[in-house]
Structure 1
Amino acid sequence: MTTTPNAMLFDLDGTLLDTAPDLGNALNHILRLYKMPTVTYQQYRNIASDGAKGLLELGFGEELKEYDFTKLRQQLLDYYEQNICVDTCYFEGIETLLSNLNKQNIPWGIVTNKPEFLTLKLVKYFPLLENCAVIISGDSLPNRKPHPEPLLHAQKLLNIATPNTWYIGDAERDIQAANSANMVSVVTLNGYIDKSIDVDMWNPDIKVSSARELLSIM
């Protein structure tokens, strides 16, 4: 299990990039627009991987049902698209990890549930990510994580004869997808995981606390 992978696939939000600040900024913009109390970083950080729906549920709570959800979602996505990389940055050690994969000629890619129009716009700010071997977004295929289809499709595009692919993510759906795809599932604990969650219940093959630790066990 801990033999060197011959391919690696990564989740995006909460794994490669810390996008929570800009997602939270978008939520707070909408909350101010509707004269609602804003939320703090500590409140929205662990919701950042749950998309617009999770963010709006956090911000509006029980009052969400009183509003036009489709309109709110579009307003949030519009603001986020226009301000997609103000405070977003790599998680510590990610650039070193990815550069090392490139040096070892280990192909790697991104499989995210983020909509394609946002994914492709965001990675343009990070040339290392934009130039990866494959990018699969949440609407690239009929199914998205936790279904294994996006991971299997990405692996197919990498065109590896005998794949030993690792998938790294920070959410239960990531581990479910990797396990279903018969890939080595790796959960990164420095992502958007609530400290009260027992990630062992997800049945990951490997747990790491940072990109540096992941690099050390490869």
Structure 2
Amino acid sequence: MLSTAKGVLFDLDGTLLDTADDLGAALNHLLNAHGFTKVSSKEYRLVASDGVYPLLDLGFKEQLAKFDKEVLRQEFLDYYLENIATHTKLFPGIEQLLTLIEDANIPWGIVTNKPAFLTDPLLLHFEQFAKSQSNISGDTIKERKPHPAPMLLASKQLGVAAEHIWYLGDAKRDIDAGNAALMTTVAVKWGYIKPLDDCSKWQANHIISNPLDLVGISK
């Protein structure tokens, strides 16, 4: 990869950062506050990168219809923002991969569907992201993944043509967006891929199980 890529882009949740336990803590805080049973890590990890509403559906189940979902969403976000990096950590191997990319003078960045008011403060907790040259959030522009527009904006910010960029993500929407932008796509198996999801059907150019596996593959 380091001999062929001229730029690298990453998804955030489930690719660079394991954010599931902080998202799960926000959900369980709400459930406890409203008298519901907490959910386990095994349960909430399956929907950790899907957004707030799937997490609320998981926790409140059919009782969710009795609540104002917008009020619950705001309660969730308020707690999450206050505790955004309490448990969140880099996935094993990510720091080493970023170091290798930077040592090779390859520009890199992040394209996530997480809104900027959460993305920006989260990134500040990790010095490893200081050299990211493009941070595109889910509301940076009107389109979001799987639309290719965020990918193309990141490409422009990196100063690298999209066809020379590799994009890593743990969801089909990531691969769809990268493919639509004509990037080399890499599905990562360490993220929040559900048991029934078959990433071999996502049409990614490559599938890897460890971040450092990226170094050994070529286009």
Q: Smaller-chain TM-score range?
A: over 0.9
Structure 2 unaligned regions, length at least 5: none
- 8 Å Cα contact 1:6/1:163 also seen in 2: no
Letter in 2 for 1:8: V
Indicate the larger mover: 125-134 or 160-169: 160-169
**Corresponding residue number in structure 2 for 1:102:** 102
User: Partner letter of residue 165 of structure 1?
Assistant: I
In structure 2, how many angstroms separate the alpha carbons of the residues matched to 1:154 and 1:2?
19
C-alpha separation in 2, matches of 1:98 and 1:131: 9
Question: How many residue pairs get matched?
Answer: 218
| Residues 132-171 of structure 1: pairs in structure 2 closer than 5 A | 132-160=132-160, 163-171=163-171
**Counterparts of 2:42 and 2:104 in 1: how far apart (Å)?**
37
Are the equivalent residues in 1 in contact too, given 2:136–2:154 (CA < 8 A)?
A: yes
Aligned-partner Cα distance in 1 for 2:178–2:217: 19
Contact 2:186/2:206 (CA < 8 Å) preserved in 1?
Answer: yes
1:64 corresponds in structure 2 to 64
Change (3 A) 1:173 1:44: same
Amino acid at match of 2:168: I
TM (norm. structure 1) is: 0.96
- Determine the C-alpha separation between the residues in 2 that align with 1:163 and 1:214: 17
Distance 1:52 1:141, change over 3 A: same
Percent identical across equivalent pairs? 48
Using the alignment, how far apart are the partners of 1:100 and 1:200 within structure 2?
Answer: 27
Kindly indicate whether the alpha-carbon contact (under 8 Å) linking 1:21 and 1:41 is maintained by their aligned counterparts in 2: yes
- Map 1:109-148 → 2, pairs under 5 A: 109-148=109-148
Change (3 A) 1:120 1:133: same
CA distance in 1, matches of 2:162, 2:55: 40
1:14 positional shift? 0.2
Separation in structure 2 between the aligned mates of residue 200 and residue 172 of structure 1, nearest angstrom: 10
Contact 1:171 1:187 in 2 (8 A): yes
Assess if the C-alpha contact under 8 Å between 2:2 and 2:104 holds in 1.
Answer: no
- The two structures have a TM-score, normalised by structure 2, of 0.96
Q: Can you list the C-alpha shifts for 1:121-164, whole angstroms capped at 9, x where unaligned?
A: 00111112133111000010010001110001000111126851
